[in-house]
Structure 1
Amino acid sequence: MSLRHALLGLLADRPQTGYDLTKRVEETLAGYAWNAGHSQIYPELKRMTADGLAEVVDEGSRGSKVYGVTEAGRAELRRWMFSPLGEAPARNEFVLRLFMLSSLDLPDVRVLAEQMAAASDRQAVELGHTIKEIEDATPAGQPHGYARFAAEFGRRWFEMQRDWARWLLEQLEQAHRDTE
């Protein structure tokens, strides 16, 4: 995934200023899917405009520009959405740490697994609150929208990490009992 595709997706939702996009990235994507600050977003908006993927659709106060996605931008977003997931190199800090567990002493592995379980549980609970906020803000009889789907995926992902860390602790305890 690239910042370009994240911005195209956000602009496909509605036209926005660079400031609006920065806030939406911080509020919805940062920490879960993609991080980017205004120092990355504004130059990428200029490149997207030059490449015909976005356009200035309005100008606000103090010269702020409101960007919208073009048809070429929608086509690029669609192309990316249907491209194979394996195109980008995998980056998962949680999994990287799993590969490095052998570098720690057993007591440290236990401490790290407990920390992973607790941190993942906190994230799952936080996303549970986010899901409730989405549901509460949705008018009766209306669908919750796609943000609800993403939040549910994140909640389940963190629950899986928590459950795995607890499983690891059980495995370590069982191995300790078996060697006594």
Structure 2
Amino acid sequence: MSLRFAVLGLLEDGPASGYALTMRFERSLQRFAWTARQSHLYPELGRLAEDGLIEVVEEGARGRRTYAITEAGRAVLRAWLLSPAKPRAVRDEQALRLCLISALEPGEAQEVVRRYQAEAEAISAELRAMADAADADSEHPRGRLRFGRLAMELGIRQSEAQRQWAEWALDRLGGGA
């Protein structure tokens, strides 16, 4: 069900084709919030259009369609955003590995934590670069609060907390930097 809201939110940031939405997913949501493949996205676009939550605003070559959110879509998105979140199902392979790390020898566990630390640092750097670019885009109607900027900051802070945890864990494992 959340795919529908992810698509509506992406279209709230401006009209887009299915391909452009797929790229927006890959750049902004997929790695940090929600995963959707192109094969999931196109049927959802059809359902959203049937429900009157989006509309085709342009048709181009080879059946390319550009979609925009409707007022009804904005109202549905707004209602969902303001409603309490449902309990989430967690499926985080990295967290599972860390929960089971005691099955490894100390040196192996240190290596797993170092990889986790390096990944957190890379994600933080990537998000900081994206945030800097978003902050510099004063042409966007929402300026610094454009789509995803607040979520980027959440990701930056989470990755920083993960890096700090990795330092702590390495210290406990006797392999601190």
Structure 1 residue 119: deviation in Å? 1.2
Partner of 2:63: 63
* Structure 1 consecutive aligned stretches of length 4 or more whose deviation exceeds 6 Å: none
The residue type paired with residue 145 of structure 2 is: G
Partner of 1:164: 165
CA RMSD of aligned residues (A): 2.1
Question: Which has the larger share of helix?
Answer: 1
The residue type paired with residue 100 of structure 1 is: L
For the residues of structure 2 that align with 1:94 and 1:86, how far apart are their CA atoms? 23
Unaligned ranges ≥5, structure 2: none
Partner of 2:155: 154
Partner of 1:178: none
Partner of 2:5: 5
For the residues of structure 2 that align with 1:151 and 1:144, how far apart are their CA atoms? 11
Partner of 1:27: 27
Partner of 2:50: 50
For the residues of structure 2 that align with 1:160 and 1:48, how far apart are their CA atoms? 37
State TM-score, norm by structure 2: 0.85
For the residues of structure 1 that align with 2:25 and 2:120, how far apart are their CA atoms? 21
Unaligned ranges ≥5, structure 1: 175-180
- Other structure's SS at 2:52 match: coil
Structure 1 residue 112: deviation in Å? 0.6
For the residues of structure 2 that align with 1:93 and 1:82, how far apart are their CA atoms? 30
Give the share of equivalent positions with the same residue, in percent: 42
For the residues of structure 1 that align with 2:13 and 2:129, how far apart are their CA atoms? 23
For the residues of structure 1 that align with 2:48 and 2:36, how far apart are their CA atoms? 16
For the residues of structure 2 that align with 1:12 and 1:134, how far apart are their CA atoms? 16
Pick closer, same or farther for the CA change 1:46–1:143 going to 2, 3 Å.
Answer: closer
The residue type paired with residue 164 of structure 2 is: D
The residue type paired with residue 11 of structure 1 is: L
